[in-house]
């Protein structure tokens, strides 16, 4: 049997990280098994469709490196791969179920259904459609169809017995049929519901393994009833646990933090969700995370490789991924851990790989034509967690920031504004005398002067760095910064800082 897996997103927005993980696991299993990976667009809910979202899905899959063997934009033998383009095929299957008694026409109006739901709510019971239209005679049905009365086609769920399915992670899952509702298969607009279309599509596309979130666990028994009604072999199910994130309890509408009874923010664990501001895959790439780092990190959200190793290329993941490593427990998405992961990937870049990525971000803060970008990148690479941090790390090169004199105070360096003023006044003529404005020349001249002055290194180097950068944290120390600024700008900033200290 050739393994055939599918990723079937809805075009309702960006690829969120939970969806990315499902796509990744589905892709990896197909590649590990030597099978086929299919992309299918499920757009039956056209009211929620966002213009341009389909193209965004193609782009996201390309950016993630998840190449698919069949799909809307690459073709294949089982197309079309967009559900709305398969519209004509669903109704005949639904009518086949009607003929065998596994489905029926329903002509109930929205007003009636709303009234029934309201009644059930008042009586304190869960609403279920009561099969009102299932008992219509063949003549009554034909008369209503001929009159053009709007209808849907509902699945005829047995009122007794059990429905169930087998899952790789959860084993045998069964529910009482009496708890299941007769869900709609074909809507009034002629389009299938998700519940029906995915069954027809999975079967007709030869899908052997279905990976999706645990939110579909409750629907899977209904899917299997459909497979049984058609006499088809259901696919192997792998329901993936959710990706969670720590957050403060927030109002669902305003997203504002809701305090507990003591007025303190209440920390909770919730499902990862775009509506709460959690990043999408595109958001992370736009923020300067490396694609390979994100993919590696996402792969470990709910799956454990054999051994202690954490870092894998996509190709390596294709070779080692297995279903046995997937956990049933929810995984926790941690932005700090992702940033650390990204930093490790940044460190592994060659200077030639790092520089063009960094330069794009540096241009947001400085004119790269005026500075030694190669040297800036050498200083930044070991300190880079996420590329979007770079503009703030180098903005002082373009313009000296305002800062308080308290910044000169450093206990470990044994310096304060008074010590700083003395050090800066002493070092000024030394710097003015330097002709070869290189890091090596700056180092030798300043360090020799420090020895002559009988000062501690920190008592000179800390004030000098503050005086010419205005920041406590910089990529590189006083010598590197002075070199990057150049002699004229360094002395200009030094003079200005001395005057402020004297004032």
DSSP per-residue string spanning 90-154: HHHHHHHHHHTTSEEEE---HHHHHHHHHHHHHTT-------GGGG--HHHHHHHHHTT---EEE
SS3 289: coil
274 is catalytic: yes
415 phi/psi in degrees, rounded to 5: -135, 155
Residue 299, number of CB atoms within 10 A of its CB: 23
For residue 272, the number of C-alpha atoms closer than 13 Å in the C-beta half-sphere is 25
499 contacts: CB under 8 Å, gap ≥ 6: none
The active-site residue, picked from 274, 291, 426, 456, is 274
Residues paired with 173 in a beta bridge: 165
**First-to-last C-alpha distance (Å) of the chain:** 83
For residue 189, give both structure tokens. 């607009």
Query: E strands of 140-262, at which residues?
Result: 152-155, 162-167, 171-176, 184-186, 209-213, 236-240, 243-248
For residues 461 and 450, what is the distance between their CA atoms, to the nearest angstrom?
A: 9
How many residues in the chain?
Answer: 503
CA dist 40 → 74, 80, 88, 187, 308 (Å): 11, 9, 17, 20, 35
Q: Is 324 exposed, middle or buried (0-12, 13-18, 19+ CB in 10 A)?
A: exposed
Closest-CA residue to 171 (of 231, 107, 236, 215): 236
Give the catalytic positions in this structure: 274
């Amino acid at each position: 049997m050739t393994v055939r897996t599918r990723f079937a997103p809805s075009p309702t927005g960006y690829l969120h990280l939970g969806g990315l993980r499902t796509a990744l696991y589905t892709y990896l299993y197909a590649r590990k098994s030597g099978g086929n990976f299919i992309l299918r667009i499920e757009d039956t809910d056209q009211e929620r469709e966002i213009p341009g979202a389909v193209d965004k899905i193609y782009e996201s899959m390309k950016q993630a490196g998840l190449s698919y063997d069949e799909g809307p934009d690459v073709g294949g033998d089982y197309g079309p791969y967009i559900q709305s383009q398969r519209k004509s095929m669903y109704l005949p299957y639904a009518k086949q179920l009607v003929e065998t008694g596994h489905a029926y026409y329903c002509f109930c109006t929205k007003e009636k259904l709303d009234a029934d739901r309201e009644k059930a709510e008042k009586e304190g019971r869960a609403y279920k459609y009561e099969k009102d239209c299932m008992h219509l005679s063949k003549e009554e049905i034909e008369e209503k169809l001929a009159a053009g009365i709007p209808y849907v086609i509902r699945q005829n769920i047995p009122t007794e017995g059990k429905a169930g399915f087998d899952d790789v992670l959860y084993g045998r899952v069964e529910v009482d049929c009496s708890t299941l509702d007769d869900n709609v298969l074909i809507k009034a607009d002629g389009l299938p519901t998700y519940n029906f279309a995915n069954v027809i599509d999975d079967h007709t596309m030869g899908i052997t393994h279905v990976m999706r979130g645990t939110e579909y666990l409750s629907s899977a028994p209904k899917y299997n009833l459909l497979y049984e009604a058609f006499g088809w072999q259901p696919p192997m199910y792998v329901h993936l646990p959710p990706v969670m994130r720590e957050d403060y309890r927030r109002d669902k509408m305003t997203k504002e933090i809701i305090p507990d009874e003591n007025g303190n923010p209440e920390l909770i664990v919730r499902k990862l969700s775009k509506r709460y501001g959690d990043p999408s895959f595109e958001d992370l790439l736009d923020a300067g995370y490396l694609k390979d780092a994100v993919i590696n990190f996402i792969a470990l959200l709910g799956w454990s490789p054999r051994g202690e190793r954490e870092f894998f290329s996509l190709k390596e993941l294709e070779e080692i991924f297995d279903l046995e490593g997937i956990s049933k427990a929810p995984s926790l998405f941690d932005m700090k851990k992702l940033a650390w992961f990204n930093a490790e990937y940044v460190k592994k870049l060659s200077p030639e790989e790092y520089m063009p990525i960094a330069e794009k971000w540096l241009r947001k803060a400085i004119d790269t034509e005026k500075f030694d970008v190669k040297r800036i990148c050498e200083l930044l690479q070991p300190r880079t967690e996420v590329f979007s941090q770079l503009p703030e790390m180098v903005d002082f090169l373009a313009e000296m920031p305002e800062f308080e004199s308290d910044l000169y105070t450093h206990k470990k360096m044994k310096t304060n504004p008074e010590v700083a003023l003395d050090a800066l006044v002493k070092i000024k003529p030394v710097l003015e005398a330097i002709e070869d404005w290189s890091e090596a020349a700056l180092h030798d001249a300043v360090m020799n002067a420090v020895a002559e002055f009988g000062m501690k290194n920190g008592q000179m180097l800390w004030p000098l760095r503050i005086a010419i950068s205005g920041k406590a944290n910089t990529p590189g120390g006083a010598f590197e910064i002075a070199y990057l600024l150049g002699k004229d700008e360094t002395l200009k900033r030094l003079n200005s800082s001395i005057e402020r200290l004297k004032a």
